[in-house]
Amino acid sequence: MINERETAVASPPIRVLIVDDQTIVRKGIRALLAEVGTIAVVGEASSGVEAIAQVQALQPDVTVMDLVMPIMDGVEAIRQITARQPGARILVLTSFTGDSKVFPAIKAGALGYLLKDSEPADLIRAIIQVSRGEPSLHPSIAIQVLNELRHPAQKTPVPNVLTAREVDVLSLVAKGLSNREIAVQLTTTEATIKTHVSSVLSKLHLANRVQATLYALHEGADSLQNSPEGDG
């Protein structure tokens, strides 16, 4: 615990951009995060258009994004931000749990999805997870996603483009393991795992680990085996 505390103090704060069309919500989130020494709010935006400009200008570590806003909604903003900056880390914070919002936001590139009725500690935890590149889904959203994966409307044939090692890595990503944990389990370096994860995302045309997890759960391990490529 001491080492973790020392690391947190030594590390620069997580730079957060807050995007919500309601001023009172933005100020409330800012006030909450001001109490957290490891997080610093670097800016605010009230629409998707402003969010795109602010992300480009401020380069935040995490963007906390509402979905329903004037001029441009959150989903389109996420889509444009991740298209311009594939490494952007976005946490959706919204009141909406419907499929019409959840799945488009995840497909657009959101790394986390949290509901506004969550506890403050949940928001802080989600910001930290997303800043590390780790997926963070509200429990009810996770259940909704899993239910959808169990009963997909239509299953698309999957090309066997992954190496055997990439399949192993993808399976462990789907179990929620970090790059460091995967490296320990596969007895290799964290840098090697990071390279494998990047390759998996590139080959499968996925934006982040959330999409990789959904892909793995949707397709199942069996369909990812028998790859024609070697163990790269």
* pLDDT one-digit tens code per residue, 153-163: 444 444 467 78
Highest-scoring range by mean pLDDT, 9-23, 55-69, 98-112 = 55-69
Q: Is residue 142 part of a domain?
A: yes
The percentage of the chain sitting over the pLDDT mark of 90, rounded to a whole number, equals: 39
Statement: residue 22 has pLDDT above 80 = yes
Q: Is residue 24 part of a domain?
A: yes
Q: Is residue 229 part of a domain?
A: no
Statement: residue 98 has pLDDT above 80 = no
Length of the chain: 232
Are residues 190 and 132 part of one domain? no
CATH number of the domain to which 57 belongs:
3.40.50.2300
CATH number of the domain to which 215 belongs:
1.10.10.10
Q: How many domains does the chain have?
A: 2
Strand 14-19, strand 90-94: pairing:
unpaired
The pTM assigned to this predicted structure is 0.65
Q: Domain of residue 79: give its range.
A: 11-148
What pLDDT sits at residue 145? 61
- Tell me which amino acid residue 135 is: P
Are residues 101 and 64 part of one domain? yes
Q: Is residue 191 part of a domain?
A: yes
Q: Is residue 58 part of a domain?
A: yes
What pLDDT sits at residue 225? 47
* pLDDT one-digit tens code per residue, 139-157: 666 655 655 554 544 444 4
- CA–CA dist 109, 205 (Å, integer): 11
Are residues 120 and 179 part of one domain? no
- Tell me which amino acid residue 46 is: S
- CA–CA dist 212, 192 (Å, integer): 17
List helix spans (H) across 109-208: 120-131, 139-150, 164-174, 179-185, 190-204
| Mean pLDDT across 92-118 | 80
Q: Is residue 54 part of a domain?
A: yes
What pLDDT sits at residue 5? 46
